[in-house]
Amino acid sequence: MNLPTWITVSRLMAIPLVFGLLASPSPSTNNRWWAVVVFLLAACTDWLDGYLARRLNQVTDLGKFLDPLVDKLLVLAPLMVLVQLGTVPAWGVFLILARELTIAGWRVGQATITGANMWGKVKTVVQIVAIALLISPISQQYPLPALSIFWLAVGLTWWSGLIYLTARKVTGKS
């Protein structure tokens, strides 16, 4: 494994930490802020591993497969805790999960693994912003802005999935 792939794998280590900070019996304000910091640092490694892979000419099929998978885990783990805490509705998270599993399943059957398109990247950024806001203690006082961005993320998640699938059909990459 090369450096960018190791960075991708290291992002996995943040998931149990964020999960633990949020899932404690009574998540304190400090725990929530620490969860935001850890989550955002982990999310930034997504940019870093991609940058290094391109810069060092170390783009691999393993990296193209692992990176979106780890991204999905990084997004879905805190969302599941937020469902448990009653912050977001389970059916909204299910819509994100359904799209992510559909695209992941689609990619597994492909001869050539393609990276995320622009809409997929926008979707990921909006998901990260929404989760960071929902995790933060600010969302407990002002839930509407965080929930609005969450629903925007749900919409973009589905939109980017439709774009991804229809682009494959149009270009003949099935």
Range of the domain at 70: 3-167
* pTM as predicted: 0.86
CATH number at residue 109: 1.20.120.1760
Confidence grade of residue 104 (pLDDT, cut at 50, 70, 90): confident
pLDDT given for residue 134 in this prediction: 96
Distance separating the N- and C-terminal Cα atoms of the chain: 28
Residue 173 falls inside a structural domain: no
Give the pLDDT mean for 2-16.
92
Cα torsion 151, 100, 79, 30: sign:
negative
Domain count, the chain: 1
Residue 57 falls inside a structural domain: yes
Q: Which helix (H) or strand (E) holds 121?
A: helix 118-135
Confidence grade of residue 64 (pLDDT, cut at 50, 70, 90): confident
Buried b (16+ CB within 10 A) or exposed e, 61-80: eebbbbbbebbbebbbbbbb
pLDDT given for residue 24 in this prediction: 74
pLDDT given for residue 140 in this prediction: 82
Residue 172 falls inside a structural domain: no
Residue 133 falls inside a structural domain: yes
Q: What is the DSSP letter of 111?
A: S
Residues 112, 115, 121: CA angle, nearest 5 degrees: 160
Q: What is the pLDDT of residues 11-59, one digit of tens each?
A: 999 999 998 898 775 656 788 999 999 999 999 998 899 899 999 999 9
pLDDT given for residue 42 in this prediction: 95
